[in-house]
A = this chain, B = another copy of it.
């Protein structure tokens, strides 16, 4: 009886015997080297397909030092943006002949980040991509001296590392200006978690748009990306509306999920959207066209982000510098925004 099913995988030498050449010639064919006679090449090709040979990645990695794989470090992969970016990354990596390993951080600490990167380095990945990480983890990234290229995706601009990012501020300005142009005196803001660079970028853009327009900058409300925090912010704002503080007529919420919670709270409290208050979100998740009312929001092209991330990695591996341009977000107007009521 055989040890366990598989009778030992095929090696180069098996193919070589079958084709009547040396193993090195087979290696040359497999790797597409020039200087193999067409007839030989074809004979080897045939032997390969007949036997169903696949090169052993581990052996190759041992001698070349490259696994043709990337490591992806991320947290919050269960959220729309990161998941969508992962999709783009994997596809682009695969197209370039690389495979993708993932590590999900248990928390956003430096230790977790360091451990994940270390594990990838031990696996001899060719590069590590850090996706949408927060707080300490981002700081850590900045300081790391890894023996492989370290690329950051979607964490906002970072001078110290190669980075691919969406221009968060631009998106936030777009949203805020849209509301101001509708005649709102000012725009309130529900932020994301303070240690998220995306959240900070959106806050910066919001503030800048207000200041540029000479509008007052109200104290922002703080959220954590989840609908629940948006709901709380919504209750708070609804209370102010009912108390007659009529500067609350427009809200820019830092992501769509929180906007959903906010809409739900406003509806509960009898505040009409967009009649009393206009709301803009961020991300353009597929659901938001079906919110009540359909949500005006800022679309980020996450798949593109993933693609550019891989592009940047490949450029780095070839030793080219390639300065990446930010991906630009777009405003998507739906029914949650409307003109400000004319003041009393």
Q: Is A20 an interface residue (CB 8 A)?
A: no
Task: Select the stretch in A31-39, A114-122, A184-192, A212-220 that faces chain B.
Answer: A114-122
4 cross-chain pairs, A with B, having the tightest CB-CB distances, nearest first: A58-B61, A264-B290, A292-B292, A54-B122
Cβ proximity bits A97-125 to B, threshold 8 Å, 1 near / 0 not: 00111111010000000000011011110
Q: Is A231 an interface residue (CB 8 A)?
A: yes
* Copies, count: 2
B99 touches A99 (CB 8 A): no
Contacts of A119 in B (CB 8 A): 99
A77 touches B83 (CB 8 A): yes
Residues 31-72 of A contacting B (Cβ, < 8 Å): 54-59, 61-62, 67, 69
Given contacts A62-B62, A102-B100, contact A57 B122 (CB under 8 A): yes
Q: Is A78 an interface residue (CB 8 A)?
A: yes
Give A62 Cβ to nearest chain B Cβ, in Å: 4
B99 touches A289 (CB 8 A): no
- Secondary structure dominating the interface of A: helix
B231 touches A260 (CB 8 A): no
B78 touches A90 (CB 8 A): no
Q: How many residues of A contact B (CB 8 A)?
A: 55
Query: CA separation between A264 and B6, bound complex, in Å?
Result: 55
A69 touches B290 (CB 8 A): no
B102 touches A286 (CB 8 A): no
Give A67 Cβ to nearest chain B Cβ, in Å: 7
A287 touches B227 (CB 8 A): yes
Given contacts A5-B147, A260-B290, contact A87 B62 (CB under 8 A): no
Task: Find the residue from A6, A78, A289 having the highest chain B CB count within 10 A.
Answer: A78
B69 touches A101 (CB 8 A): yes
Q: Is A242 an interface residue (CB 8 A)?
A: no
Task: Find the residue from A90, A101, A290 having the highest chain B CB count within 10 A.
Answer: A290
Contacts of A338 in B (CB 8 A): none
A77 touches B86 (CB 8 A): yes
Cβ proximity bits A76-97 to B, threshold 8 Å, 1 near / 0 not: 0110100110110011001000
A90 touches B62 (CB 8 A): no
A58 touches B62 (CB 8 A): yes
CB nearest neighbor in B for A227? B290
Q: Is A261 an interface residue (CB 8 A)?
A: yes
Give A271 Cβ to nearest chain B Cβ, in Å: 13
Query: CA separation between A290 and B228, bound complex, in Å?
Result: 8
**Further pairs besides A57-B123, A228-B286: 6, Cβ < 8 Å:** A55-B122, A77-B83, A94-B103, A99-B103, A228-B290, A267-B292
A90 touches B103 (CB 8 A): yes
Contacts of A100 in B (CB 8 A): 101-103
